[in-house]
Amino acid sequence: MPENPTVPRAEIVVDLDAVRHNVGRLREIASAERPVAMMTVVKADGYGHGMLPVARAAREAGAEWLGVATLDEALALRAGGDTGRVLCWLTVPGEDYAAAVAADVDLTAYSVAELDEIAAAVDGTPARVQVKVDTGLSRGGAARADWEAVLSRAAELEAAGTIRFTGLWSHLACADEPAHPANDAQESAFRDALALADRLGLAPEVVHLANSAAAVLRPSARFGLVRCGIASYGLDPAPGHTGDLGLRPAMTVRARLALTKPVGAGAGVSYGHTWVAPEDTTLGVVPVGYADGVLRHAGNAVSVWVDGVQRPVRGRVCMDQLVVDLGGELPPAGTEAVLFGPGDAGEPTAQEWAEACGTISYEIVSRVGGRMRRRHTGEGER
């Protein structure tokens, strides 16, 4: 039986007005010097925000492109009714490239073998294909020694009418550290790849290098399109380097206390008794745990907002629950506990959680889920 919808045990609330605002704001920032197209990256279920509602909000805010990692994600966008340009960039041999072509998805190829496999799946309509070159991340993308072979093959397939070469792109390793020398080196390598493509007679429809951090901090990396993920969700893409970008965090995670109770000095809390009450206090049981995507590292590290005060998590995060120190207050069971949110009311932010857990906000928001419900506000508005 569904729970009473008015009192969920735990829920993720996603503000689609904030997503629309952020996409518009990022366009303003990235197009300050010259207009560039916007790709909103909605992989990993929209960084935990819900891929389809976020995709709709991004389109409403003018995103010309959506970006996803896997082909399954791209096809899910189509199944959900999205008809705009969609780029996916992480496939393995044997993927259903025919389905991708039929769904008008832009694929990304890293190798000659991948181009050939895509070409073999073409039956009439040419496949839209972009080539990704590795300019120094040493992850996906054609190794420099293979650029010429891959781009030459793309040119042949395009001349044969088998593919349409829709883009050339790469990805930065250190965009969130704007002074890191790898940024200049990668951009320079990318310009070499563009020159090579030009020499081979290729005219990519879009050329792109920048993720959120580079879109905001590195005008020279914007080219014709920027791929914005984390900043679209209102989170800082380069903490310590950005100043106020005017973004609004879209996700709030809240739960209702299952129990509150006093404990005496010396009481050990949660598994392993990694925290022992130094004096008499009161505790609240929050009914979410690591199976709901709350990192176990949050134990003894983060705070949760209860009745207008940030209360520290004590002891280990368990599979289904965690414990907060209410400092002598004894609010009733059912009282709201906000794990993180935009921060406007004084609740912790995903960025604060990330710092406390030794990770990045991306991991905090993309992991949260499990048995929590997700609810969207601002749906269908413009």
Ligand X SMILES: *Cc1c(COP(=O)(O)O)cnc(C)c1O
Of the residues 97, 110, 132, 271, only one is catalytic, namely: 271
Nearer to ligand X, 218 or 227 (CB): 227
- Using CB under 6 A as the binding rule, the residues of this chain from 33 to 62 that contact ligand X are 41, 43
Residue with smaller CB distance to ligand X, 110 or 290: 110
Give the Cβ contact number of residue 273 at 10 Å. Answer: 11
Span from 227-235, 246-254, 311-319, 325-333 in contact with ligand X (CB under 6 A): 227-235
Asked if 97 is an active-site residue, the reply is no
Structure tokens at 186: 């990668």
The number of residues that bind ligand X (CB under 6 A) is 13
Site string for ligand X, 166-205 (x = CB under 6 A): -----x----------------------------------
Span 336-365, contacts to ligand X by CB under 6 A: none
Compute the least distance from the CB of residue 375 to ligand X, in Å: 23
Instruction: Check residue 316 for interaction with ligand X (CB under 6 A).
Output: no
Tokens 């950005």 -> residue = 242
How many CA atoms are closer than 13 Å to the CA of 381, on its beta-carbon side?
11
Q: Which among 149, 150, 186, 153 is positioned nearest to 171, based on CA atoms? A: 186
CB 11 within 8 A of CB 374: yes
Interaction between residue 89 and ligand X (CB under 6 A): yes
Candidates 49, 59, 227, 254: give the one binding ligand X (CB under 6 A).
Answer: 227
Q: Is 319 known as a binding-site position?
A: yes
What residues numbered 205-224 form the site for ligand X, per CB under 6 A? 211-213
Q: Does 162 bind ligand X (CB under 6 A)?
A: no
Let me know if 132 is a catalytic residue: no
Determine, following the binding rule CB under 6 A, whether residue 16 of this chain makes contact with ligand X: no
**85 touching ligand X, by CB under 6 A:** no
Beta partners for residue 127, in sequence order: 163
Residue with tokens 């003894």: 300
What is the nearest approach in angstroms of ligand X to the Cβ of residue 220?
17
> How far apart are the C-alpha atoms of 367 and 294, rounded to whole Å?
7
228 touches ligand X (CB under 6 A): yes
Q: Which residues are catalytic?
A: 43, 271
Binding site per annotation, positions: 139, 319
State the residues that interact with ligand X by CB under 6 A: 41, 43, 89, 171, 211-213, 227-231, 237
Binding site per annotation, positions for substrate: 139, 319
